[in-house]
Structure 1
Amino acid sequence: MSHHHSHNHGHGHCYGEGDDGHDHSNDITPALQSLLYSQIQFDSITTLNEATPKSGAAIVKKTYAERQNDEPELESDADEQLLMYIPFTGQVNVHSILIYTAPTPSAPKTLKLFKNRDDLDFSTASELKPTQTIEVPRPIPGTDVFEIPLNRAHWNATTSLSLFFEDNWSDGEEDVTNVGYIGLKGQFLALNREPVSFLYEAAANPNDHVAIPGVSGIGGRIMPGQ
């Protein structure tokens, strides 16, 4: 996925010049190591109040190398608020959220995050206590993606993440919010969970039926002939 970016996306976007070429070669590998990109169910992402259908899913689907591309971009419609639902293919621990926005007053400010809620609308998102609230830093010209660490204790065994962009940096003057890229970092759990617990249970079963004092003292092995 990542080897094509240096050729296909250098058509006039703001990141095509300068020293950014060094950033890709030095930083892209560690940045990708813990991205939850392949664990996101892109087809099931929903975004309320998006001006262009599927644009919310499109900015999550951008690769890390494409994070500063002008298009696609998520833009709010009726007012400055956006509500995005991102489901995962299994359980993940979310460590941080990556956000890139152009340096304008329409960049998002207050972001409320909800864990494992697939039933939110704007009224419930406004009333419910979020799992965590973060303030997205105000971007200035020349800034790259913001990586905002989350409180890891709140984000274990996450199957979906809802992002409620409540306001932007215009202090109420701009009723359009724009977001260019969203990425998520963390650990994916589902692949090694079930086989491990199954093997433990299978291995424990023979011992369950043998009530010999001291068996556990020799490592739980059943000696021949017993």
Structure 2
Amino acid sequence: MSGHHHHDHGPGGHCHDEDHDHSNDTTPALQSLLYSQIQFDNVTTLNESVSRSGAAILQKTWAERLNDHPELESDADEQLLMYIPFTGQVKLHALLIYTAPTPSAPKTVKLFKNRDDLDFSTASDLKPTQIVEIPEPIPGTDIFEVPLNRALWNTTTSITLFFEDNWNDEDTTKVGYIGFKGQFLALNREPVSVMYEAAANPSDHVAIQGVSGIGGRVMPGQ
């Protein structure tokens, strides 16, 4: 049996991993926070009352997550539509959200993967990739970590969040912090350049052989 345990990396190792995951519930490992992978400049938010406030709450660091400001608030009605592009492909594991315990806290959020063309009309009509419900915040609550169906979010280059309603049918919806946990894969163009270099090397080699064969400079002794 000891060999079998060894193959499983030992029960101790497994427990350690589990403990590690539990500590992440409140303080995510920084490498699992997809913060530096968000293209903040290209974030667009429809119906925000203050320009760029959607991007601003995304740019809050983990330490700033509970700060009152900046805050994203809807304008004409309770709905918000946020388009958030990443710098490459990510696998999303969870949506992190904080909202102050007010009647304006968001409730239903429809999530769309890799759609940069949505407005309120299309977001209302189209089938979302996933729908999540944000729990109603009570005073003293921290971040809500909303697990996502990982199988649906494997090759994500952007996510659109459609905040459809809030907890008390208020005219405005307010959000304090949004973040994502997941795994960053790579820039989309990286595999292409690697393939190109790999393909170029054999032909470079052939060209060098050809030159040395014709010119004879490399092997003057023959």
For Structure 1 versus Structure 2, the TM-score category normalised by the shorter chain is 0.7 to 0.9
Q: 1:182 aligns with which of 175, 178, 185?
A: 178
CA contact (8 A) 2:48 2:72 kept: yes
Q: Deviations over 1:174-213 (max 9, x none)?
A: 11100000001111111596179639965xx79xxxxxxx
Following superposition, which runs of at least 4 residues in structure 1 exceed 4 angstroms of deviation?
199-202
Distance 1:33 1:129 in 2: 31
1:112-159 deviation per Cα after TM superposition (whole angstroms, max 9, x unaligned) = 000000000000000000000000010001110000010011101111
Question: 1:135, 1:147 → 2: CA distance?
Answer: 11
Contact 2:89 / 2:187 at 8 angstroms: preserved in 1? no
Q: Structure 2: how far apart are the matches of 1:135 and 1:200?
A: 47
Query: For 1:73-222, what aligned pairs fall within 5 Å after superposition?
Result: 73-170=71-168, 172=169, 174-191=170-187, 194=191, 198=195
Aligned partner letter, 2:31? Q
Alignment coverage as a number of residue pairs: 178
* Secondary structure class of the residue paired with 1:38: coil
Q: Is the partner of 1:114 in helix, strand or coil?
A: strand
| Structure 1, unaligned runs of 5 or more | 1-25, 207-226
The residue type paired with residue 106 of structure 2 is P
Over the matched positions of the two proteins, sequence identity in percent amounts to 74
User: Aligned with 1:62: secondary structure?
Assistant: coil
| 2: CA distance, partners of 1:55 / 1:199 | 41
Tell me the C-alpha RMSD between the 2 structures.
Answer: 2.3
Segments of 5+ residues of structure 2 without an aligned counterpart are 1-24, 204-222
- Answer with 1 or 2: which has the greater Rg: 2
Q: Does 1:56 align with 2:54?
A: yes
Aligned 1:2-81 pairs, distance under 5 A: 28=27, 30-81=28-79
SS in 2 for 1:78: coil
| TM-score, structure 2 as length reference | 0.74
Q: Distance in 2 between matches of 1:115 and 1:191?
A: 17
Q: Could you tell me how far apart the structure 2 residues matched to 1:52 and 1:199 are?
A: 45
